[in-house]
């Protein structure tokens, strides 16, 4: 196998993707990641969520990483930050055969889109808790993961089409 075909091999890219996801995921389990990444992100998500809920009339307060309102509370945990999804999507961008400039655009775009869709998810889940609709479990476990998966796939395909593929 020539050097050029080795670098373009789908198998090699798949192995690199898995290695990148596992490596980054292992880093995310460290105390360092919790202290310098997750901790500040949990607090930021909680504060911004409470601020937006206040804007729409759902009186909310923040106590650490817990958003409280009259009818309940939601604790912002590591899974509420979207970092895990950012790792999956950014890793796919990084192993795709594209220029480093295109990869940088893709990673930044991935982070922005995942943070935005994840924040909308947290807001809707807080709303469901505050409304007492009984739909939290269904939305949290089934609906939002499907939405995030579709948005991430769409983001990746858009990035490939718009930024990664060279046009003649």
Task: Report the C-alpha gap between 67 and 74 in whole angstroms.
Answer: 5
* Percent of residues in the chain assigned helix, strand, coil, to nearest 5: 75, 5, 15
DSSP string, 23-92: HHHHHHTSHHHIIIIIHHHHHHHHHHHHHHHHHTT--EEEETTEEEETTEEEE--GGGS-HHHHHHHHHH
pLDDT tops 90 at residue 7: no
Total number of domains in the chain: 1
- Taking residues 120-133, what's their average pLDDT? 92
Where in the sequence is the domain holding 99, given as residue range(s)?
3-164
CA separation for the pair 160, 43 (Å, rounded): 33
Specify burial of residue 67 (Cβ count, 10 A radius: 0-12, 13-18, 19+): buried
Task: Give per-residue pLDDT as tens, 37-48.
Answer: 999 999 999 999
166/157: higher pLDDT: 157
Q: What is the pLDDT of residues 48-84, one digit of tens each?
A: 999 999 999 988 999 999 999 888 899 999 988 999 9
Phi/psi at 63 (5° precision) = -130, 95
pTM, rounded to two decimals: 0.87
């Amino acid at each position: 196998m020539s050097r050029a075909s080795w670098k373009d091999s789908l198998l090699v890219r798949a192995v690199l993707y898995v290695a990148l996801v596992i490596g980054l995921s292992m880093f995310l389990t460290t105390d360092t990641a919790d202290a310098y990444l997750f901790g500040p992100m949990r607090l930021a998500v909680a504060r911004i969520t409470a601020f937006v809920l206040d804007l729409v009339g759902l009186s909310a307060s923040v106590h650490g990483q817990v958003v409280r309102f009259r009818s309940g509370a939601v604790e912002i945990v590591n899974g509420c930050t979207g970092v895990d999804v950012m790792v999956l999507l950014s890793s796919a961008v990084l192993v795709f055969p594209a220029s480093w400039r295109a990869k940088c655009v893709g990673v930044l775009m991935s982070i922005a889109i995942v943070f935005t869709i994840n924040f909308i998810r947290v807001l809707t889940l807080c709303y469901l808790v505050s409304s007492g609709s009984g739909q939290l479990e269904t939305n949290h476990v089934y609906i939002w993961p499907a939405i995030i998966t579709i948005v991430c796939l769409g983001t990746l395909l858009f990035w490939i089409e718009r930024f990664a593929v060279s046009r003649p």
